Amino acid sequence: MKWIKGIALFLVANFLIYLTLTFTANLLINVVLPAFGIDVRGAFNEQLLVWSLVIGFGGAFISLLFSKQMARAMLSNAQQITSPRSHAEQMIYGSVQDIARRLNITMPEVWVYEAEDPNAFATGPSKNNSMVAVSTGLLQNLKEDEVRAVLAHEMGHVYNGDMFTTTVLAGLMNTFVYYISNFLSSLVGQSGDREEGTAGNPFLGFIVYIVLQVVLSFMAMLVVSWHSRRREFGADAFSAKVYGKGAMISALQAINRWVNRAQVEYGTQDPLATFKISGKTSGVMHLFATHPPMEERIAALERL
């Protein structure tokens, strides 16, 4: 199945990333830095900081570099539009092409994938190397002007460099998580009573490391999710500049109606919440949503 292939690709990619970064960090610490007179091999904290920077930012940027390939692997029954063969394909392709021409950027890859939920996303390492994908559910549940508004929203992400800024922020958060958890756990694991000659407790240090990794990772997610919600308002505003705020408001309202129908049909859980478009979450989960609630986005558009 397609999703199994995607997960396998993701795991293999992360394993290869880890091996690559391990080699890079050791090369940097043991060869490159000493060649410039910077020797951190005997200083644990400095070495850990260098290692944390390599792991934190290296992993984030490698993921960004291969973001298009990973996204395509995760899509279900996806087809790239290169030569439109229907009115719908021409509308999608032509809209992206027109906006790219206006912005003077390279035409992104355009994909359509099979999914019931009305969704769309953009990804890629740069504004001149990106892709835009829309679900069949978006085409089935939205009018043409609404679909164009959503496409403009995604092109706003591309032009604003949101993928890059999110990657930098994620790399920074990864660095803090890795450095703090390793530094504090090492202090606990190595601490002992010198006068009594007692050694540290490596097992306790390992427990502290796991706890800190979990706690700090959740805290980092709060920051990254907050940034993600803020960038959605910028992409909405970009869409409003291209096609008018009415079209984007109408698109959000159409998606919100679908969400409400889906909640009634399938239960109380919002299928587009937290990591997708609607952001309709309750309680503390709102802090982890990557998209603001529809009502907030519509209100922001109306104020433009």
Distance (Å, whole) CA 49 – CA 39: 13
Domains in the chain, CATH or no CATH each: 1-74 (no CATH), 76-304 (3.30.2010.10)
Burial 132-158 (b: 16+ CB within 10 A, else e): bbbbbbbbebbeeebbbbbbbbbbbbb
Query: Can you read off the two tokens belonging to residue 265?
Result: 């049909």
Distance (Å, whole) CA 89 – CA 112: 9
SS3 281: coil
Catalytic residue among 144, 154, 195, 265: 154
φ/ψ of 111, rounded to 5, equals: -130, 150
pLDDT per position as a tens digit, 94-124: 999 999 999 999 999 999 999 888 999 999 9
What is the distance, to the nearest Å, from the Cα of residue 258 to the centroid of all Cα atoms in its chain?
Answer: 24
Place of tokens 């559910």: 137
Say if residues 92 and 155 touch (Cβ distance below 8 Å): no
pLDDT per position as a tens digit, 2-15: 445 544 554 565 56
pLDDT per position as a tens digit, 228-239: 889 999 999 999
- Tell me the one-letter amino acid at 78: A
Query: Does position 264 have pLDDT exceeding 70, yes or no?
Result: no
- In this structure, the number of other CB atoms found within 10 A of the CB of residue 85 comes to 9
DSSP for 143-203 reads -HHHHHHHHHHHHHHHHHTHHHHHHHHHHHHHHHHHHHHHHHHHHHHH---TTTT----HH
Specify the pLDDT at position 38.
Answer: 67
Under the banding of pLDDT at 50, 70 and 90, the label for residue 304 is: confident
Say if residues 265 and 207 touch (Cβ distance below 8 Å): no
Is 154 part of the annotated catalytic residue set? yes
The whole-chain average pLDDT of the chain stands at 80
Distance (Å, whole) CA 72 – CA 123: 10
